[in-house]
Structure 1
Amino acid sequence: MKLTTSKRLFRNAQKYIPGGVNSPVRALNAVGGQPIFIDKAKGPYLYDADGNRFIDYCLSWGPMILGHAYKPVLDAVRKTLGKGTSFGIPTEIETQLAKTIATAVPSIDKVRLVSSGTEAVMTAVRLARGTTDRDIIVKFIGCYHGHVDHMLVSAGSGLATFGSPSSPGVPDDFAKNTLLLPYNDLDAAKELFKKQGKNIAAVIIEPIAGNMGTIPPAEGFLEGLRTLCSKNKSMLIFDEVITGFRFTFSGVQKMLKVQPDLTCMGKIIGGGFPVGAVGGPAAVMDNLSPDGTIYQAGTLSGNPVCVSAGLATLQALKAEKPYKKLGDSGRKLADGIDEILTAKSIPHTINRMGGMFTLFFNDEPVTDYDGAAACDTKMYAKYFQHMTANGIYVPPSQFEANFLSTTHTDRHIEQTLKAVRSFEPK
């Protein structure tokens, strides 16, 4: 497989873009390679600048649940483009997307559209603080909620500690009101609320973790957080940027039967375009300006081109009901990988939810960040390089999720398993 053009394009990009990429993981530093520059994509395939074709299990980090270049989405975008690209004035289609989300997600009455998942989290946190008149936010180690200053924190030495900045440029004062807890540890959360409950504005969590690899919640964990927040008049925020509309036609909260106070969404609701959203009960959402005093604004929020792509995606998901097929395909692929690696005596475990899974090179259960961090990242790098060389594009990090789309067929799965069978790490 030749990557001559990609190498040349990367060298040129490094002259004008920090690190040559516009998002760090794309640099492939975690897997010891150089970026592959993509020319086009269709269905389950990526085509790079050198003409190589890859079966794609990254899917733009999740949004392309219907596959790349899905015709109804492209048609909707073309139709909207013919009318203009941005107005900075309300359009009917914004209401249509907001209504679709609010109707599908049980905890949501109203929606504020923004331009990214990070912006949705920023808005939700400000809304929670303003509504409760409290400052402290609780997050879970290993969960990623975008590059908002007060979310870029690392754990201290105790079980539940005030965060410290995990990136230069984040002031200590921004991080001091963020507390961290281990994922899936309800006892730690109970102990924290005993000490700080009256000061906690909100708990924010990925209800199914996807940014330390796929990690589902332990039985009773989310229910326990809901109880703690309700008892202490704190808000529970679900970051469903990854999980929204991924497993059912709603947020994962409907499937897990736990309702948050606020929900952040992105990825799928944009259909491949930059769209984010925060939603919740009308009594809370109406605290946002202009009705309320909590300020939020965005020039491109509700951009008609982006919104049309998201609405077309959600309409297709509602009509096609692909979730059983996605789950079946995910199970077939994950079980196949598990069987092959077991026969090769390669230590591993696989966590899967529907058409989303992570292969961890660790033979112990992975239920939190410590378990994910104990994985053999060097082995994963070898796996990534092998799969890429065989025309399979998997996430370029041990700590990310694989995604399946409606365009992945049994033939694609078998081709992927064939590549896994030839994996012989030295």
Structure 2
Amino acid sequence: MTEKSRWLYETAQRVIPGGVNSPVRAFKSVGGSPRFIQSAFGAYLIDADGNRLIDYIGSWGPMILGHQHSHVLASIQSALTEGVSFGAPNAREVELAMMVTKLTGMEKVRFVSSGTEATMSALRLARAVTGRDYILKFRGNYHGHADGLLVEAGSGLMTNEQKLQARSAPSSAGVPQAYAGLTLVADYNDPEGLAQLLRDRGNTLAAIIFEPVVGNAGVLIPTAEFIDVLHSAKEQGILLIADEVMTGFRLSPGGATERLGLKPDIITWGKIIGGGLPVGAYGASAEIMDFVSPMGPVYQAGTLSGNPLAMAAGIGTLQTLRDNPEIYEKIEDYTERLEQGLLLAAAQAGISVCVNRIGSMLTMFFTEGPVQTYQDAVRSDTRLFAQWFHEMLNRGVYWAPSQFESIFVSAAHNERTLEHTLQAAASAFLTIKSQSQG
């Protein structure tokens, strides 16, 4: 750990719980202490001591264009000259809403300030529309930290626990068991289990909320059979909520919904939709969205919802993606070559890994494949991953500091970053192999 980052971390722990404002940043699953970041540009982070690191986190997904993209910065700067928050309607939220509805096929959208707000609001809406109380989520899917969704959640919670809990057991202290009991849990990519649950409890469910592509148990890609059973739930009046906070506008202009041919009733978004600024949104048909206040009885509000800076960043990002559709092909090609290079380097070092990739999202699991389910993912050797992570960091590559996270490729990654990454990976694999034999 660098000198200034060490001082910052020690100081932060005195005034911030754990020294961080989001748990996975604390490096608990990989050991050591986190780097504090001073600045970022393109595909690089600069830490507090001036070290340059290739960034594969991208602020956990939003920076699909890379850091400090000129068009996004210009859009934010234009908004900044007019004021940062009004607490009243503004033209930019209308412009962004029109872009989102056109790209996704949803008829109306409501902006909020985080992905957690979006999923929480979508569930309240689904319960109001259906008149039912129960919801269903999937083990290892993470939908933000609202109480009813912290049940067998993913990413940092998996890292800390690494165990399967009883169904409907809260994943966090402070969540009432009675509330968690309204959340049923099924296994992702288990079509038979889901079909049985729908037969048993389908008429009690308001909604099924799911990550179309899981990114918080590592990347898990849905099978066609699983998607078919998901869609069959609609026959029982159950609303499907696709949580596209991570995948929205990343896997295609219309997100995972477009790429996988999904038919959700409600979609939630975050990350890319705000270009790196705090934002979230949920959308559906006009019939469903008109249940939301002030049109309908579902109350939801937010002082900074639709604030002009976040709207401007989102507009700048989506405009750039719209006007440069080749970006999707570029980042997918890069990620595919990254996948093949990692597999080759691991094989040459004699280390078993499985790489799951879709579009510009990728997870390398330290286990033999295939990895399709939560249970498959938790078999990963997290100790070996932690060693590899630190070897990569020492070689100037900032990978996600958890085995159970996706990494994200941006349009700013190029041949130079790919070559550096694969050389670092090959060296890191050989080092940890040598350490394990020693």
TM-score by length of 1: 0.97
Task: Select which of 115, 120, 130 maps to 2:113.
Answer: 115
1:8-407 residue pairs with structure 2 within 5 A?
8-106=7-105, 108-154=106-152, 162-228=167-233, 230-321=234-325, 322-407=327-412
**Partners of 2:152 and 2:165 within 8 A in 1:** no
Shift of 1:231: 1.2
For 2:167 and 2:35, locate their aligned partners in 1 and report how far apart those are by CA, in whole Å: 39
Give the counterpart letter for 1:95 in structure 2.
V
**Count of residue correspondences:** 420
Aligned to 2:159: none
Q: Deviations over 1:289-311 (max 9, x none)?
A: 00000110000000101110011
Q: Is the Cα–Cα contact under 8 Å of residues 110 and 280 in structure 1 kept in the other structure?
A: yes
1:422 Cα deviation from its structure 2 partner: 0.8
Gaps of 5+ in 2: 154-163
Amino acid at match of 2:243: D
Tell me the distance in 2 between the aligned counterparts of 1:28 and 1:46: 17
- Quote how far apart the aligned CAs of 1:162 are: 4.6
Change (3 A) 1:262 1:161: farther
Structure 1 residue matching 2:29: 3-state secondary structure = helix
In structure 1, C-alpha distance between the alignment counterparts of 2:319 and 2:187, rounded to whole Å: 37
Contact 2:213 2:247 in 1 (8 A): yes
Deviations 1:6-57 (A, max 9, x none): 0001111111100000000000011001010000000000000101000000
Secondary structure, aligned partner of 2:49: coil
State how far apart, in whole Å, the 2-side matches of 1:351 and 1:10 are.
33
Specify the SS of the correspondent of 1:79: helix
Q: Cα deviation per residue 1:135-179 (whole Å; 9 max; x = unaligned)?
A: 110000000000010011139xxx997501111110111100000
Q: Deviations over 1:323-364 (max 9, x none)?
A: 111110000111001011011110100000011100000012
CA RMSD of aligned residues (A): 1.2
- On the 8 A contact 1:223/1:258 being kept in 2, the answer is no
Structure 1, unmatched stretches of 5+, are: none
What's the secondary structure of 1:215's corresponding residue?
coil
What is the CA-CA distance between 1:76 and the residue it aligns to? 0.9
Cα distance in 1 between the residues matched to 2:338 and 2:258 = 26
TM-score normalised to structure 2 length: 0.94
Letter in 1 for 2:275: G
Note the C-alpha offset of 1:223: 2.5
Q: Tell me the secondary structure at the aligned position of residue 31 of structure 1.
A: coil
Identity between Structure 1 and Structure 2 (%): 47
* Shift >6 Å, 4+ stretches: none
Question: 2: distance between equivalents of 1:63 and 1:189?
Answer: 31
**Tell me, what secondary structure is at the counterpart of 2:145?**
coil
Q: Matched residues in 2 for 1:363 and 1:345: separation? A: 12
| Residues 207, 239 of structure 1: 8 Å contact kept | yes
Deviation at 1:256, TM superposition (A): 1.1
State the shift of 1:226 in Å: 1.1
How far apart, in 2, do the equivalents of 1:319 and 1:250 lie? Answer: 14
